[in-house]
Amino acid sequence: MIKTIAKPVKRCVTGCGECRSTCQSACKTSCTVGNQSCERVTREEKIEKRK
């Protein structure tokens, strides 16, 4: 049995820069890029839900 728990909705490459700078999130020493969400995708999803 192999059950998929999570898979990327969209693998984008954009580098649009709208996300927060990693170093300004909380840690200042041991930043983890992957615990951030893509702010553009998140915002687009929110707009989509409101429609």
Partner 1 sequence: MIHIFSYRDNHYIYDTGSGALHMTDRETADYLRSKEGEEVDLSAISPEKIREIESDVESLVREGLLYREEVTTYPPKSTEIKALCLHICHDCNLRCRYCFADEGAYHSVREKMSAETAKAAIDFLIENSGNRKVLEVDFFGGEPLMNLDVIKETVRYAKAEAAKRGKRFLFTTTTNALLLDEETIRFFNEEMENVVLSLDGRKEVHDAVRKTVNGKGSFDAVIGKVKQFVQLRGDKHFYVRGTFTAKNLDFDRDVLFLADSGFDSISMEPVVTDLSDLQIREEHLPAIKEGYDRLCDAYLERYAAGKGFNFFHFNIDLEGGPCLSKRVSACGAGNEYFSVTPNGDIYPCHQFAGDPAFRMGSVFEKKIDGSLRAQFRDSCLFTRKGCEHCFAKFICSGGCNANNYHYNGDINVPYAMTCEMMKKRIECAMHILAQKKLAKE
Binding site for partner 1 (CB under 8 A): 1-38, 41-42, 45
Q: Which is nearer to partner 1, 7 or 51 (CB)?
A: 7
* 3 state DSSP class of 43: helix
Q: Which is nearer to partner 1, 6 or 47 (CB)?
A: 6
Residue 45 DSSP SS3: helix
Q: Which is nearer to partner 1, 2 or 51 (CB)?
A: 2
Q: How far is the CB of 11 from partner 1 (least distance, A)?
A: 7
Spatial contact of 36 and 19, defined as CB atoms under 8 Å apart: yes
In the three-class reduction of DSSP (H, G, I as helix; E, B as strand; rest coil), residue 34 is classed as helix
